[in-house]
Amino acid sequence: MLGLNLLSRMAEQVIFVMVPPLALIFLVLGTIFIGVATPTEGGAMGATGAILLAYGKKRMTFDLLKQAVESTAKLSAFVLFILVGARVFSLTFYGVNGHLWVEHLLVGLPGGATGFLIVVNIMVFLLAFFLDFFELAFIIVPLLGPAAEKLGIDLIWFGVILGVNMQTSFMHPPFGFALFFLRSVAPKDRYRDKVTGTMMEPVTTGQIYWGAVPFVVIQCIMVALVVSFPQMVMHYKASAVQLDQKAIDKQFDSIQIPGIGGPGGLPGLDLNAPPSFK
């Protein structure tokens, strides 16, 4: 590497292959974490970085850019129509007082807040097999929020729990987006590895599904940790300041106002005396 022979040829190739994706990840997540960009701006940074990488590898063409723009427009339209449909469903559901029925059902679960969290997390986990993040966020979450608030659950903590849980929807078969993305780039036929020169077997869909299982388990463990240790999320809430009322009264009593209560001045005010109308 750089003529110093510190790394093997394979290690150098691995590093050079990893740098562009890591840089792209930093443009999206890194700029958000360091406070340079908002999530929307982070997405724009990622799109710009992807275009620059494509230009750098001389793979950017007008047809490819047109295809990317059309795909983005279609996806945005899909999300918008999901939002509209979810709103129509919510209005209809609210019109027949369905939200009150769901709220009473969830609030009446045995175990109080703990039972509510267990049932809700299991329900969201199972629904994530068939619904993606958008449907869950627009349809299911608005029905769960009022019940959580009525049980005295911190809504920020509850939102983080649901967010971590709903992340599994990207890895659930059969509709996980991450599985589809990986299937689109994974080789379907035997191929020769460019580094080692050996023939590699194709990646099957079953292997992709089984490969996602450990990550789903990790997400479930994270849900359990966030539920078990709320301070992981609610550390921003400082303990309430304890005020000593006696010390406050003593400080007020020690305050001297010139011209009031002193010699030749106005009489002092006795707040404990009954009012006089003479």
157-161 — which CB contacts under 8 Å span 24+ positions?
A: 157/226, 157/230, 157/233, 157/234, 158/117, 160/226, 160/233, 161/117, 161/121, 161/223, 161/226, 161/227
Region 89-115: what's the mean pLDDT? Answer: 85
14 and 132 housed in the same domain: no
Number of domains in the chain: 2
135 and 12 housed in the same domain: no
What is the domain extent for residue 133? Answer: 97-236
pTM of the complete model = 0.63
217 and 116 housed in the same domain: yes
128 and 230 housed in the same domain: yes
For 265, half-sphere exposure in the C-beta direction (CA atoms, 13 angstrom radius) is 11
What number of other Cβ atoms are within 10 A of residue 49's Cβ? Answer: 17
Q: Which of 63, 60, 34, 33 is nearest to 47 (CA)?
A: 60
How many helices, marked H, and strands, marked E, lie in the chain?
13, 2
State pLDDT tens for residues 202-214.
888 888 888 888 8
State pLDDT tens for residues 162-190.
988 988 888 887 777 788 888 887 888 88
DSSP per-residue letters across 83-141: HHHHHHHHHHHHHTTHHHHHHHHHHTSTTHHHHHHHHHHHHHHHHTTTS-HHHIIIIIH
**Mean pLDDT of all residues in the chain?**
80
pLDDT at residue 253 in the model? 64
pLDDT at residue 258 in the model? 55
DSSP designation for 239? P
Q: Is the peptide bond before 202 cis (omega within 30 degrees of 0)?
A: no
For residue 262, being part of any structural domain is answered with: no
pLDDT at 256 over 50: yes
45 and 144 housed in the same domain: no
For residue 82, being part of any structural domain is answered with: no
Strand partners, 200: 191
Specify the 3-state DSSP secondary structure of 146: helix
120 and 173 housed in the same domain: yes
Q: How confident is the model at residue 65 (pLDDT cuts 50, 70, 90)?
A: confident
Region 14-25: what's the mean pLDDT? Answer: 81
pLDDT at 27 over 60: yes
For residue 39, being part of any structural domain is answered with: yes
pLDDT at residue 121 in the model? 92
Region 98-107: what's the mean pLDDT? Answer: 85
Amino acid at 47: A
121 and 219 housed in the same domain: yes
pLDDT at 7 over 70: no
pLDDT at residue 103 in the model? 84
| Cβ atoms of 205 and 182 closer than 8 Å | no
114 and 200 housed in the same domain: yes
State pLDDT tens for residues 66-82.
888 898 899 888 888 88
What percent of the chain is predicted at pLDDT more than 90? 7
